[in-house]
Amino acid sequence: MESVGSLVLRKEKHAEYVVEFQKDKAGYEYVASEYLRLSGIYWGTTALWLLAEDEEGKEFKERLPREEVVKDVMACWNGDGGFGSAPGHDSHLLYTLSAVQVLVTYGALEEELSGEDRERTAAFVAGLQSAEDGSFRGDKWGEVDTRFSYCAASCLTLLGVKPLESKIDVPKAVEFVLACRNFDEGFGARPGDETHAGQVFCCVGALTLLGALDRVDKDRLAWWLCERQTKGGGLNGRPQKLHDVCYTWWVLSSLQMLGRLHWVDRSKLIHFILSCQDEIDGGISDRPDDEVDIFHTFFGIAGLSLLGYPGLEPVDARYAMPARTMKELGL
Amino acid sequence: MHGRKREAKEVKHSSARVEARRRKAKLYAELSRECFARRNQKRYDEETLALCQKLLEMNCELYTLWNHRKEYLEPILLGSSSDAKGAAEKELKLIEACLQRNPKSYCCWQHRKWVVDLANRLPNAEEAALDRELGLCDLLLSVDERNFHCWSYRRFVCSLHKAREPEVELDFTTDKISQNFSNYSSWHYRSALLPEINKVTSFEDLVRGGGGENTTTTTSSSSVGVKRVLPPHVLDEEFGLVKQAFFTEPEDQSSWLYHAWLINHLVENEKKFGSYGDERVGERLEQEVETCNEILEIEPESKWPLLTLARLLEAQAARAGGEGSESSAAGLHDKMRQLYRKLEGIDPMRRGYYLDAIAAVGNEEGG
C-alpha cells in the first residue's frame, strides 16, 4: 500500500464507517439525513466498490447485502417516474440520478424497473427541460441549475436512452450550459452566477456527455482548476477559499475530462486527503481534524482512485461510478 | 459536516453522549413521521403547517416540506384575496430565520425566490418589498462576502427591481472591492455587469470575441465587427482598478484572474476582428508589461506578475508574428521560456502546467 509520510489509506476503517452508517438506521446521522438519504446510499455504496478488496481479498462491497441496498433504493421510487430522497419524499432529479447510479452499479436496473418504468423515469427527467432555453429544473417547482443539466445527461445515458436527442433538445441543453460560462472560463449555476469547482464538474460533465466538450477552452479552464491547489496541498472550490476534500473530486474529475490531470501536485494532494481521515473511527472529513461524513468519505476515496492510489478500483470521472461498470455498459 | 471540529473520542463515545443522540434521533424521527404522514394526506390546516414549520426549523433542508408549503401558498399567492401579501410576508420571515442559521441552503434560497416572484406579481406589490430583499442580501454578504447563493439571489432581485440599474450594482461591486481586493465574487459580478451596461450583446461574444457589426470603437466606421466589445475608456478604468489591487495585494489571485480576462478579451477580439484599434492593443500590452516589471522590481520572486508577464509576452509575440517580424517573436519566446522555468521553481505544485506551457512555446516556434 502506498504511504505518504506515515499516512496510508485506512480502507478497513472506512469500510466499517460506511457499513455502520448504513446499518444504524436509528442513529441521528441517518435519521436527520433523510433529505439526501438516497445520495447517501450512492456515496456509501460507491465508496465500498472503489475500496475494492480487504486484506483477505474479499470485496468490501459484499459487506452491504445487495438486496438490502436495492430495496432501500426502490423504497424511494415514486409513481411519477422520479425518486425522492427517502420514502415519502417528493421526486427530485438529484435523487433520481442517485437511484439510477446505484441500480446500474449493482446491475439491478433492469430487474427493478421494467421497460415501462424506465421509460417513465426517462420521461420524468426529460420533462424537466425548459423548451425555451434548454435548462433543466430539479423538480416541478422550477429551480434551474446547471447541476440539473448534468444530472439529466447522466441519468438518461445510464437509463440507456440512445441517442439523447430522442428525449431532449441536446443543442439547447448545450447552449444553456455555455450561457453559464464566465470570464474565468469556469461555470456557474445560472447565467451570471459565479464560477465554482462543483459547478465546473457539472458543466464539463454535461458537455462531455452531450458531446460538446470541444466548445470549451481547455487550457484556460484547466489552468483555473489547477490554481485551486492551495499551499497545504488540498484543493479549494473558488479563489481565496479554504481547501476541502470534496473539491478533490470536482476539480480532479474535471481535469481528467479535460485531459490535464497532471497539472496538480499528486503527492501533496494525496497527503492532504489522507490527513483528513479519522484513523480511529474511520471516515474522511473536509479538512484535517473536522468531523467526518459519508459525502467527504466518498469524494476522498474517489479522488484517490483518480490519482491512481494503489489498491483502489478505478473510477470513471464522467459518471463518478466504478470504471468497470461503465466499461461493461459500453459507455 | 463542513467546518465542524472532530470531537474527542472519549466525549463522542461516552454513554451520556450516545444516549443523548439516541433521544434526539427518536424525537426527530417521531416528528418527521408525523409531518410526512400529514403531508401525504395533503393536510394544510394550521396545526399541520405549524408542525412542519417546527421540523423545518430543526432541519431546513427538507425540500419536500417546503414543497408542501408551496402547495398551500400557491392558491393564496395566485388569488386576489387581501391576505396574500400577509401570507407572503409571514413565509419570508420563516425563510429568513432558516437562512440566518443555514445561509447556504439551496432549498431555502429557492423557496424564497419562489415566494418573492409570486408576491411581486400581486396587484399591491411594492418596490419597498424588493428593497427589503436587497437589505437581506447586504446583511448576509456582510457576514460572508463570498456566499454565492446570496449573490445569485441578489441578481434575481435586481432583475425584478426596476430602479436597480446595473450601474448601481457596479458601484456596489466597486465598494466591495475597495473594502477587500480579494473579493472574487465582486470581480466576477463586475465581469457580468460591464457587458450589460455597455450593451455588449452577449457575454459569450465578449469572452470569445463574437461576430456582428460595430458601432462603439475608436477605429474608423468602416471597420467591421468591433461592436461587441467593451469601449476603451471602460477598459482603462478596469485596468486602473486591477492595478490598485496588484499593489495592495500582489499575492491575491482574484485581481490577476480578472486581469487575465481583460487581456484575453483585448487580444481575442483583436484577433477576431483585426481591430481593437491596433495602436491601443500594442500600447496597452506594453503598459501592462511595465506594471508587471514594476512589481517584480520590488518582489522579484512573485508568481503572479511573472506569470502575467509571460502571457503578455505571448500576446506580443503572436502580434509580432502576425506582422512578420520573426526575430522579435523568437526573442519574446526565449523570455517566455525563462519565465516559465522560473515559475516552475517558485510554484512547483503546478510544474505540469508550466512544462506544458514551455512545450507550447517550442511547438509554436517549430511550426
Residue spans of the domains in chain A: they are 11-329
Note down the domain range covering B154. Answer: 40-74+86-164
Q: What was the pLDDT predicted at B201?
A: 58
Q: Is B261–A142 a contact, with Cβ atoms under 8 angstroms apart? A: no
B43 touches chain A (CB under 8 A): no
Low-confidence ranges of chain A (pLDDT < 50): none
Structural domain count, chain B: 1
Taking domain A11-329, whether its CATH number is 1.50.10.20 is answered by yes
Half-sphere exposure of B282 (CA within 13 A, CB side): 9
Q: Inter-chain contact B64–A84, Cβ cutoff 8 Å?
A: yes
For B41-91, write each residue's pLDDT tens digit: 999 999 999 999 999 999 999 999 999 999 999 999 998 788 899 999 999
Supply the pLDDT for residue B325.
66
CB contact under 8 A, A141 and B203: no
Q: DSSP readout, B17-73?
A: HHHHHHHHHHHHHHHHHHHHHHHHTT--SHHHHHHHHHHHHH-TT-HHHHHHHHHHH
Q: Is residue B224 one of the residues assigned to a domain?
A: no
pLDDT, residue B280, reads 81
pLDDT at B215: 35
Q: How many contacts (CB atoms, under 8 Å) link A and B?
A: 164
Whether residue B151 and residue A194 make contact (CB cut-off 8 A), yes or no, is yes
Mean pLDDT confidence for B237-265: 94
Whether A226 sits inside 8 A of B152 (CB atoms) is no
Please indicate, yes or no, if residue B146 is contained in any of the structural domains: yes
Distances (CA, A) of B318 to A212, B70, B268: 28, 57, 11
Q: At B54, which CATH number?
A: 1.25.40.120
Is it the case that residue B208 has pLDDT exceeding 60? no
pLDDT the model gives residue B329: 86
Across chain B, mean pLDDT equals 88
Residues of A in contact with B351 (CB under 8 A): 265
Tell me whether residue B154 is in a domain.
yes
How does DSSP classify residue A316?
E
Contacts of B189 in chain A (CB under 8 A): 194
ipTM at complex level: 0.96
Question: Is B268 domain-assigned?
Answer: no
Cβ of A32 within 8 Å of Cβ of B28? The answer is yes
Residue B206, pLDDT above cutoff 60: no
Question: What's the gap in Å between the CA of A264 and the closest CA on chain B?
Answer: 6
Q: What is the average per-residue pLDDT within B280-285?
A: 90
Stretch B162-185: mean pLDDT: 94
Of B106, B167, B159, the C-alpha closest to B133 is: B159
pLDDT, tens digit, 9 for 90 and up, residues B312-321: 999 999 888 6
Amino acid B322: pLDDT = 54
- Site from B14, B57, B63, B181 to mutate, A interface, most A CB atoms within 10 angstroms: B63
Give the separation between CA A285 and CA A274, rounded to whole angstroms.
10
B307-356 per-position pLDDT tens digit: 999 999 999 998 886 555 667 888 999 999 999 999 999 999 999 999 99
CB proximity under 8 Å: B 308-327 to A: none
Cell numbers for B47: 396545526
Residue B271's pLDDT is 82
Check residue B221 and give its pLDDT. 34
Residues 174-213 on B with a CB inside 8 Å of A are 182, 184-185, 188-189, 191-192, 203-204, 207
B48 in a domain, yes or no? yes
Residue with the larger pLDDT of the pair B209 and B93: B93
Dist CA A180 CA A188 (whole Å): 5
- Distance (Å) from the C-alpha of residue A303 to the closest C-alpha of chain B? 17
Residue type at A138 in one-letter notation? G
Sequence letter at residue A281: D
What's the whole-number mean pLDDT along residues B237-252?
Answer: 93
Q: Do A103 and A112 touch, CB atoms closer than 8 A? A: yes
**Among A221-225, A256-260, B2-6, B165-169, the least confident range:** B2-6
Please name the amino acid found at residue A246. Answer: C
Residue-level pLDDT at B222: 33
- Kindly indicate the confidence band of residue B227, based on its pLDDT and cuts at 50, 70 and 90: very low
Establish if B64 touches chain A: CB-CB under 8 angstroms: yes
Question: Domain for residue B97, yes or no?
Answer: yes
C-beta atoms of A26 and B22 within 8 A: yes
The stretches of B249-277 forming alpha helices (DSSP H) are: 253-273
- B355 lies in some domain: no
Give the residue ranges of DSSP H helices in chain B. 9-12, 15-40, 46-58, 63-78, 84-101, 106-119, 127-143, 148-160, 166-179, 184-197, 203-208, 232-248, 253-273, 278-298, 303-322, 326-346, 351-366
**Residue B330 lies inside a defined structural domain of this protein:** no
Q: Does the pLDDT value for residue B213 go beyond 50? A: no
